[in-house]
């Protein structure tokens, strides 16, 4: 049973990790594309229009990869997690169906019109199709996170005698106190990824003396949006999520912050340390006294419960993994703010385009928002364990009892091989588009 559960979780973790490499760019990029098109309508400078069409090619490629890698996850609800689907399908099925029927179709329908319909539609209607693509992609994220938020903090439900969950209050799904902070944090994270990608490609062009005009536009846009979104990820959205976890999942909060023992007179915030599960402590830690209490409760001396205050049966199943995922996310987020702040200062001084070390840093940092977003999701998912629906349905009780560990491992190996090929194909196609660069059309 443990082997079966391990491989079920590994397969879903691998497929969803690979899949989310693509939506996190498309959601943020859709807003930047709309921004470029809007700037064109205001200024009549065709560089903005050409920029919007260039990035829509990258968007379309990402969107296609997201669709291809997202479909297998839906099947896993029926194959690997049949019991979970049977018990909770009456609730999560509604938001997932809405995502597919409304958001996905809105996004995919108008994507084609934006890509190929500019001449027939005219610029104003062309802008409208881009806006509807943006609306669809952000609505998709909202409905997915509504599903996730219900699993983290279940609301508006009733459990029948047969163990099935039924929805008693549809509005509660969308007024869930977990939903809005999570959604805004996720969207800000996707904006960080897209901003770094746009700025990174712009830096690449400037450093290689290619597409100079577009390089400057991409760097400027990426830095401005990147600084704003990096700050929003930390505060207020990240702060609100941390307070939600401290309030509703205190054992998770203790694990991700590395608090093994309750401290009297305020809790320290750990900057560096390694969880020692045998001795229930952090090794080689560097911490700042009382700061965590202040950030969480605005009280320097507030008590935060440590893991010693909870039964081990409700501990997160992978405390070191949760601790490291959380600290990698926070550490990278801090670096993003610092780098974008430096770049913004140089932009204001009109020296950024010639400050090569910052351009190199921006280009080098391009993959790291993907890592930060991934570890952020790992923090959320590892933090909820050992529950599928927090405090109501354990992960072990949601797996399919008739699917063997051997079958799951075999298909996991197949996914790894297939996704490796898809990843290489994506990099080749994206590299070709980037190398060719934006096209200056004859106007």
Examine the pLDDT at 440 and tell me if it is beyond 80: no
Q: What is the pLDDT at residue 263?
A: 84
| Tens digits of residue pLDDT in 329-362 | 999 999 999 999 999 999 999 999 999 999 999 9
CA distance 78 to 85: 7
Q: Looking at residue 442, what is its pLDDT?
A: 53
Cis peptide before 386 (omega within 30 of 0): yes
Per-residue buried b or exposed e for 86-97, using 16+ beta carbons within 10 Å of the residue's own CB: bbbbebbebbbe
Among 397, 380, 332, CA closest to 153: 380
Average pLDDT, the chain: 94
User: Which of the residue ranges 37-46, 93-102, 266-275 would you say has the lowest mean pLDDT?
Assistant: 93-102
Q: Which of 75, 74, 72, 61 is nearest to 22 (CA)?
A: 61
> How far, in Å, are 46, 59, 317 from residue 116 at the CA level?
17, 14, 49
Residue 130 has pLDDT above 90, yes or no: yes
pLDDT in tens, 218-249: 999 999 999 999 999 999 999 999 999 999 99
pLDDT at 443: 52
Half-sphere exposure of 223 (CA within 13 A, CB side): 26
Confidence of residue 1 (pLDDT cuts 50, 70, 90): low
pLDDT of residue 288: 93
- pTM for the full predicted model: 0.96
Nearest in space to 441 (alpha carbons), one of 34, 53, 38, 32: 53
- Residues forming beta bridges with residue 166, ordered by sequence position: 158
């Amino acid at each position: 049973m443990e082997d079966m559960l391990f491989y079920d979780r590994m397969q879903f973790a691998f497929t969803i990790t690979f899949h989310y490499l693509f939506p996190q760019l498309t959601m943020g990029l859709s807003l930047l594309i709309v921004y470029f098109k809007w700037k064109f309508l205001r200024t009549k400078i065709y560089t903005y229009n050409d920029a919007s069409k260039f990035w829509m090619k990258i968007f379309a490629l990402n969107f296609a990869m997201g669709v291809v890698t997202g479909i297998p996850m839906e099947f896993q609800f029926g194959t690997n997690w049949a019991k979970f689907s049977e018990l909770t399908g009456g609730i999560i099925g509604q938001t997932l169906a809405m995502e597919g029927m409304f958001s996905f179709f809105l996004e995919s329908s108008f994507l084609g019109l934006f890509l190929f319909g500019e001449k027939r539609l005219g610029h104003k209607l062309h802008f409208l199709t881009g806006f509807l693509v943006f609306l669809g992609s952000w609505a998709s994220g909202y409905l997915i996170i509504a599903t996730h938020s219900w699993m983290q903090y279940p609301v508006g439900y009733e459990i029948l005698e047969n163990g099935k969950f039924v929805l008693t209050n549809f509005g509660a799904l969308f007024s869930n106190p977990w939903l809005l902070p999570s959604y805004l944090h996720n969207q800000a994270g996707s904006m960080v990824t897209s901003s770094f990608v746009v700025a990174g490609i712009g830096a690449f062009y400037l450093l290689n003396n290619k597409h100079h005009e577009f390089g400057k536009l991409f760097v400027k846009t990426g830095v401005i949006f990147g600084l704003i979104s990096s700050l929003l990820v930390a505060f207020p959205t990240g702060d609100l999520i941390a307070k939600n976890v401290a309030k509703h999942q205190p054992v998770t909060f203790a694990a991700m912050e590395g608090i093994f023992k309750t401290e009297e007179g305020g809790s320290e915030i750990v900057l560096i340390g390694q969880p020692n599960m045998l001795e229930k402590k952090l090794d080689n830690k560097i911490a700042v006294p009382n700061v965590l209490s202040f950030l969480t409760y605005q009280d320097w001396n507030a008590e935060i419960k440590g893991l010693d205050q909870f039964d081990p049966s409700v501990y997160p199943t992978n405390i070191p993994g949760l601790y490291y995922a959380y600290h990698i996310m926070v550490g990278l987020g801090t670096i993003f703010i610092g780098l974008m702040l430096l770049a913004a200062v140089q932009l204001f001084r009109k020296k950024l385009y010639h400050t090569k070390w910052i351009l190199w840093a921006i280009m080098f940092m391009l993959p790291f928002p993907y890592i930060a977003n991934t570890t952020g999701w790992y923090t959320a998912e590892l933090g909820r364990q050992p529950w599928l629906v927090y405090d109501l349905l354990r992960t072990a009780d949601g797996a399919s009892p008739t699917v063997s560990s051997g079958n799951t491992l075999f298909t996991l190996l197949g996914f790894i091989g297939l996704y490796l090929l898809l990843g290489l194909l994506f990099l080749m196609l994206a590299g070709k588009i980037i190398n060719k660069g934006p096209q200056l059309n004859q106007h």
